[in-house]
Structure 1
Amino acid sequence: MSTATDPYRVSMVCLGNICRSPIAEVLLRRMVEDEGLADDVVVTSAGTGAWHVGGPMDPGSAAVLRARGLDPDTHRAQQMTAAVVEQYDLLVAMDTSNLADLQEMVGDADHPRVVLLRDFDPDGADGQSVPDPYGGGPDGFETVYAQVEAACAGLVTALPGFLADR
């Protein structure tokens, strides 16, 4: 758990950390920088599964980021486990299954906070999942990008409140 002087640590979490959560990590990091919060908030991503650990982002995710001038090349998949959850202040799940997995990892502890990304969508997508585009075509990755972008905009607006609450 971070103190008021430590950076607030956020991890975007999906299943394999190659499709949705890397897009969310790159977008949220850019938004945090644009809001002048880069010194206060550190953004990473992880997957609840270990299949892709150490591997790059899915080519479809990389393509939607590159098309918008964002760099996907430094990403390497990592796994979120019960042994490391306490290193974070906020765990942001891409879908309800990831949310349940994260809640189980955190258990009865009141830290870190676990939330569903689309609950921050200003257009009211509360309780909805970001669909997994893995194995699909470019349209699926475009849909994910649009949903993640909208929800990350809402999340970055909420971050000052999270920072104040720690």
Structure 2
Amino acid sequence: MAPTERILFVCLGNICRSPAAEGVVRAMAPHLELDSCGTGGWHVGEPPYGPMQAAASARGYDLSPLRARQFGPQDFDRFDLIICMDANNLRDVEAHRPKGSDTTVRLMTDYGESGEEAVPDPYYTRDFDGTLDLIERCARGLILEL
């Protein structure tokens, strides 16, 4: 199997968790080809949510150039690894899997050590720092596994 170099992060709206994961991993492993998207299309073309950008910026991550886009079946061909923020995102991604695709799809928390089952959505929880803490831990695990 070829080394994983193209990674896609997926959440619901692509304005909090997946752009944060993209920004964190980009800072830790700038050699990787990264992108993020959402399973829903409500925010297509919008920048990451302001409070998430502020929390990320306070840690040195610049999310401002990112813009939301929606996941599609073509992403299975464009990426070596698709990482979802929760089980619902994973289910929605798998529903778009083209016949014969063997692209790996995993949860972000598969790379963590905390036993968390999902990266909580700070759009609803309002815990942007807690979400970033978990994403940073999982990002370190992901990079070690690559």
The yes-or-no answer on 1:76 pairing with 2:56 is: no
Matched, 1:148 2:130: no
Shift of 1:122: 2.7
Aligned to 2:14: 17
Q: Deviations over 1:25-82 (max 9, x none)?
A: 000111113xxxx0xx201101011100000100111011110122121010011112
27, 31, 34: which one pairs with 2:28? 31
Between the aligned partners of 1:132 and 1:145, the Cα distance in structure 2 is 11
Structure 1 runs of 4+ off > 2 angstroms?
107-111, 122-125
Residue number in structure 1 paired with 2:53: 62
* 1:126-137 matches, cutoff 5 A: 128-137=117-126
CA contact (8 A) 1:86 1:111 kept: no
In the alignment, which residue of structure 1 is the partner of 2:40?
49
Q: CA deviation at 1:155?
A: 0.4
User: Deviation at 1:119?
Assistant: 0.9
Question: What letter matches 1:150 in structure 2?
Answer: R
Give the structure 2 partner of residue 100 of structure 1.
91
Q: For the structure 1 residues 4 and 83, does the alpha-carbon distance in structure 2 shift closer, same or farther, using more than 3 Å as the test?
A: closer
8 Å CA contact 1:89–1:111 kept in 2: the answer is no
- CA displacement at 1:136 relative to structure 2: 4.6
Residue identity opposite 1:61 in structure 2? M
Distance, in Å, in 2 between the alignment partners of 1:133 and 1:156 is 24
Cα displacement string for residues 68-125 of structure 1 (whole angstroms, at most 9, x for unaligned residues): 1221210100111123322111000000100111122225534211000001003343
Letter in 2 for 1:133: P
* Equivalenced residues, count: 146
Kindly report which structure 2 residues correspond to 1:116-135, keeping only aligned pairs within 5 A, or say none.
116-125=107-116, 128-135=117-124
**Aligned equivalents of 1:94 and 1:102: distance in 2?**
11
User: Using the alignment, how far apart are the partners of 1:45 and 1:29 within structure 2?
Assistant: 11
Q: Secondary structure at the match of 1:74?
A: coil
TM-score for both structures, normalised by structure 2 = 0.91
Seen in structure 2, the aligned counterparts of structure 1 residues 145 and 10 have a Cα distance that, compared at 3 Å, is: same
Q: C-alpha root-mean-square deviation of aligned residues, in Å? A: 1.9
Stretches of structure 2 lacking an aligned partner (at least 5 in a row): none
